[in-house]
Amino acid sequence: MTDATELRRRTQELLAAYPPASTDRLDFLRARFDAGLAWVHYPEGLGGLGAPRSLQAVVDAELEAAGAPDNDPRRIGIGLGMAAPTILRYGTEEQKQRYLRPLWVGEEVWCQLFSEPGAGSDLAALGTRAVREGDDWIVNGQKVWTSSAHLARWAILIARTDPDVPKHQGITYFLCDMTDPGVEVRPLRQITGEAEFNEVFLTDVRIPDARRLGEVGDGWRVAQTTLNNERVAIGGMRLPREGGMIGPVSKTWRERPELRTHDLHQRLLKLWVEAEVARLTGERLRQQLVAGQPGPEGAGMKLAFARLNQEISGLEVELLGEEGLLYDDWTMRRPELVDFTGRDAGYRYLRSKGNSIEGGTSEILLNIVAERVLGLPAEPRTDKDVAWKDLAR
């Protein structure tokens, strides 16, 4: 069994064979993957050693101390947090070997083609169609709110393959090459002035059946793995104390006493405590992941993340007064990363409005927590047993 001592030994061997100071960044990352030190809980041959997930921190600490490069996890977050665990669970051996290494190294960026103009909160109502033609599927439809589509080589895609069954049953999950003919990416300009999101049009896109993930018609179940991991990735990210949104406002409070009022002091204390509770809860949730796949509890973390970001950024704008309304960059940009802490308070306030939509709307996540975590009665649903083609749209 691989333990911490063995992982330290393997890490030191990697560093000796590929000194970070003199090794090309990608070459080092490829060697790290091949040594099983990318994500140690993955199987051998797929970047891991079958070790407990908790031991990843041992490897990361050794590599950080040696000045080794990381794989820029924020840039490839959709691949790491959503595509990879889904491919690992449902992919064929050929798919795992083909996609996981370039995904983790960062050679190939991924995006998510799930939401549609008429199927956001009610994702199972999606209308993008995939029709079988020999060994291929012909896909037509439109997706929206797609982060990183302008950068991505690959996409995880769900499409309707059987309109004659209820909406949750007729969906299939695919891996879509974003460079294929018929894939068109258009920017969506946000309230921040940026175009971090996109809409994607799919016109007669041909996807080989070999790029189907899971069984035909089982796409909703496969997608649940993606969505559960997404919510953990968004709401349960590892942060230091005063990491995230609470950091900048706390720093401003300490450095600018002339802005302080009693009311703002009380609100800041309350939000600071809540942010720390959320951080520690996220740590516990990650420890639970050691035992298996993420469950619906991640929805609660994502809910807390959205509410806290919006309340903290609102408090920061009030604290700064007129200065908090300033925002120095309204130019149309296509950012690779969303940077919450390195920008103006005005940017944080505007961008945080999207937190209650992306990764599942807060209203839908409240239903998930109520039904799947607390065991409360489900809301009445009249469309569960109706064929998708017969639903009102």
- What residues are annotated to the active site? 230
Whole-number CA gyration radius for the chain: 22
* Cα 175 from Cα 72, distance rounded (Å): 22
Annotate 165-179 with b (16+ C-beta within 10 A) or e (fewer): bbbbbbbbbbbbbbe
Which of 20, 147, 44 shows the shortest CA–CA distance to 93? Answer: 44
Q: What percent helix, strand, coil does the chain show, rounded to 5?
A: 45, 15, 40
Q: How many angstroms separate the Cα of 225 from the Cα of each of 62, 85, 202, 207, 287? A: 31, 8, 24, 22, 18
Specify the 3-state DSSP secondary structure of 42. Answer: coil
Which of 363, 352, 310, 305 shows the shortest CA–CA distance to 120? Answer: 363
**Which neighbouring-strand residues pair with 119?**
116
- Whether 132 and 139 have beta carbons less than 8 Å apart is answered as no
Specify the 3-state DSSP secondary structure of 144. Answer: strand
Residue 156: both structure tokens together: 């995880």
Identity (one letter) of the amino acid at 67?
A: G
Q: Angle of helix 246-255 relative to helix 297-320, nearest 10 degrees?
A: 30
Residue 310: both structure tokens together: 């919006």
Which of 341, 346, 349, 347 shows the shortest CA–CA distance to 243? Answer: 341
Residue 370: both structure tokens together: 């109520």
Strand 197-208 to 136-144 pairing: antiparallel
Which of 225, 244, 228, 231 shows the shortest CA–CA distance to 302? Answer: 231
